[in-house]
Amino acid sequence: MKLMRYLPGFFLVLSMLGCVTRLTPAPGLFSPGEWSTTPVVQTAYGLVSGVADAEGTWAWKGIPYAAPPVGELRWKAPRPPAPWQGVRKADRFGNSSAQVVPILGQSGSEDCLYLNVWRPQSAEKMLPVYVFVHGGGNTIGSSDLPDYFGNAVAARSHMVYVSLNYRLSVFGWFRSPALTEGESALDASGNYGTLDIIAALRWVKENIAAFGGDQSRVTVSGESAGAFNVLSLLASAEAEGLFQRAVVESGIAMMESTETAERAARTMTLKLLVRRGKAKNIQDAEAALDAMANADIRAFLYSVPTSDFLKSLDKSPVGMAMADWPTIYADGAVLPLAGYKVFRDGSYSNKVPLIIGTNKDEAKLFMFFGKQYRQDPVLYDSIAAYRTALWRYAGVDSVAQGITSQEGHPPVYAYRFDWGSPDARGQSPLPRDLGRRLGAFHSTEIPFFLGTGRNSVSFMTGQFLTSTNEPGRKVLTDAVMRYLAAFARTGNPNGTTGGPLPAWEAWDPADGGFKAMVMDVDGAALHFSALRESPSLDSITSMAPAKAGDDADMGLLKEIVE
């Protein structure tokens, strides 16, 4: 359903050469150093100086992992960053990607390929590395959101934590025949945001030992669109060998076709022709565009300022300040033409241990702000249950079923996060009526997985992380972070330190076998249980209320199962 979509001198010269099919990073000017317990670190591109941060950590912010994708690099695969002399201060975040944010309006920059590193202020080396990809529908978001800070993971889990920015919406995913002609396969792919994340992972592999990290134990994780992107990395040969575990929080296994991508690019070009005064209306723009040579279309698109692209994006129907723009394309170069069928036939590139899951009431966040069903609580709950079941099938069950259908598959550990959802007694830790209206909504798990104790959704819904539910939150956060720390170290969430936790079994495809760990608390006590059912297509379709938007929902379902 439509809801689910919205949900980088000499080295620069080298980077401009687009004649290869697969990009190999140019060597840095320096050899990365070793961790020396000081905040001045030698990377392959120069020295960076970090700052002391919360919970006894060091933080390095705004490190360039690729050249700025501006000018002739606007729609190109990321190139290596230019080395620098002296010590670069890494004490502030780099630019977020160009986007439109609530209240502030247009924000960020096309010059946005920067990452951040946290680690404990200790002599420890060979620490596991946890890379987090932010969400926001691939059209909004930034790693500088306090929800995504890495001090808690670094300090409590003794890991090196990395977060990053990547190109979004029309700058991150854009495929037009006018831009593909004569280009290398990667430069022509349209999947620039995907390639940005891969470039960040290459930077990690090259440089993370200098921060005390272990390049052979990299976990790539993400929530929402970040999770969509992690799923795409599992399928991408370009990301092969860059990570050894993956965590997918509330993702959807859905790729757009190149045809859809090119239609969107054409529509955007028509809007821009009108906006830039090259045509009076869309009809005139159609005629003008059809008469233009590809070289002229390309020159026009490169001449359009950032702001005009942002002004021409449609808003997502699901709100949340996201834009309506297709991302993640099955292009045959970055991502397989078969899309996520590769999970079912075992041909996906990165067969690594996987943690994957959803929240019990995913869809309620997107319904919360609408008035359509507010007067009918029964209908509200039934539509939310249906859409959440579809989300879970598209984001968890279809992936787990596909991977575990193959012999010798890596383990898949699934979860359902229930905190906030009313229990069997109708009681919720959320204040006011938010238990029923929001429950365990999309993004609920973030402060528990990353230990930040923050969820910025509260600015729109009202504060729901309260002193009353704090004891339970602390207990659940500790448990979840211990599972994740064990997983990052060994590829198995069990074997945690600090006391026993319930055994988290891998997905068992057999009927009645363990499918997912249900995570919740009862007051301040852990309340974990096993989920042994996986929804069938029939059971999902039978849940669909008449007013649920069935055509759009079934369209997505059809794409997933074909």
Q: What is the pLDDT of residues 259-272, one digit of tens each?
A: 999 999 999 999 99
Q: Distance between CA atoms of 516 and 354, rounded to whole angstroms? A: 12
Residue 302 lies in domain:
258-309
Q: Is the residue at 322 inside a domain?
A: no
Do 222 and 363 sit in the same domain of this protein? no
Q: What is the mean pLDDT of residues 305-323?
A: 88
Nearest to 327 by CA among 195, 162, 164: 195
Do 440 and 524 sit in the same domain of this protein? yes
pLDDT, the chain, mean: 91
Do 295 and 231 sit in the same domain of this protein? no
Q: Which two tokens stand for residue 83?
A: 């080395």
Q: Distance between CA atoms of 76 and 190, rounded to whole angstroms? A: 8
Q: Is the residue at 496 inside a domain?
A: yes
Whether 484 contacts 504, CB under 8 Å: no
Residue 338 has pLDDT above 90, yes or no: yes
Strands 245-249 and 51-53: unpaired
Residue 119 main-chain phi, psi, to 5 deg:
-155, 160
Q: Is the residue at 267 inside a domain?
A: yes
pLDDT for residue 127: 98
Nearest to 213 by CA among 104, 327, 314, 122: 122
Do 427 and 541 sit in the same domain of this protein? yes
Helix (H, G, I), strand (E, B) or coil at 357: strand
CATH number at residue 23: 3.40.50.1820
Do 183 and 298 sit in the same domain of this protein? no
Q: Is the residue at 135 inside a domain?
A: yes
| 220 strand-pairing partners | 131, 246
Q: Left (φ > 0), alpha (ψ -120 to 50) or beta: where does 269 sit?
A: alpha
Q: Distance between CA atoms of 191 and 40, rounded to whole angstroms? A: 34
Q: What is the mean pLDDT of residues 74-99?
A: 98
Sign of CA dihedral 144, 440, 442, 370: negative
What are the helix and strand counts (H, E) for the chain? 21, 18
Residue 44 main-chain phi, psi, to 5 deg:
-65, -15
For the stretch 39-53, pLDDT in tens is 999 999 999 999 999
Kindly provide the residue ranges of all beta strands, DSSP E only, lying in 23-94, ordered along the sequence.
40-43, 46-49, 51-53, 57-64, 87-89
Q: Left (φ > 0), alpha (ψ -120 to 50) or beta: where does 534 sit?
A: beta
Do 100 and 182 sit in the same domain of this protein? yes
Residue 209 CB partners (closer than 8 Å, separation 6+) = 32, 34, 35, 125, 215
For the stretch 264-307, pLDDT in tens is 999 999 999 999 999 999 999 999 999 999 999 999 999 999 99
User: How far, in Å, are 272, 342, 397 from residue 405 at the CA level?
Assistant: 47, 12, 12
Q: For residue 275, with 0-12 CB atoms within 10 Å meaning exposed, 13-18 middle and 19 or more buried, which class applies?
A: middle
Least confident range of 23-27, 59-63, 533-537: 23-27
Q: For residue 510, with 0-12 CB atoms within 10 Å meaning exposed, 13-18 middle and 19 or more buried, which class applies?
A: exposed
Q: Distance between CA atoms of 341 and 343, rounded to whole angstroms? A: 5
For the stretch 417-442, pLDDT in tens is 999 999 999 999 999 999 999 999 99
Q: What total number of domains does the chain contain?
A: 3
Helix (H, G, I), strand (E, B) or coil at 392: helix
pTM of the model: 0.93
Q: How many residues does this entry show for the chain? A: 562
pLDDT for residue 11: 25
Q: Is the residue at 340 inside a domain?
A: no
pLDDT for residue 419: 98
Whether 66 contacts 8, CB under 8 Å: yes
Do 297 and 219 sit in the same domain of this protein? no
Residue 556: band (very low, low, confident or very high) from pLDDT cuts 50, 70, 90: low
Residue 538 has pLDDT above 90, yes or no: no
Neighbours of 290 (CB within 10 A): 7
Terminal-to-terminal C-alpha distance of the chain: 15
Percent of residues, the chain, with pLDDT higher than 90: 83
Do 55 and 165 sit in the same domain of this protein? yes
Q: What is the mean pLDDT of residues 345-362?
A: 97
Whether 453 contacts 447, CB under 8 Å: yes
pLDDT for residue 5: 42
Q: Is the residue at 320 inside a domain?
A: no
Do 416 and 499 sit in the same domain of this protein? yes
Q: Is the residue at 314 inside a domain?
A: no
Do 280 and 364 sit in the same domain of this protein? no
Q: Is the residue at 328 inside a domain?
A: no
Q: Which two tokens stand for residue 307?
A: 């702001």
Do 294 and 155 sit in the same domain of this protein? no
Q: Final residue of a domain: which of 217, 232, 249?
A: 249
Helix ranges (DSSP H) in 66-168: 151-157
Q: Which two tokens stand for residue 470?
A: 């704090």
Do 300 and 404 sit in the same domain of this protein? no
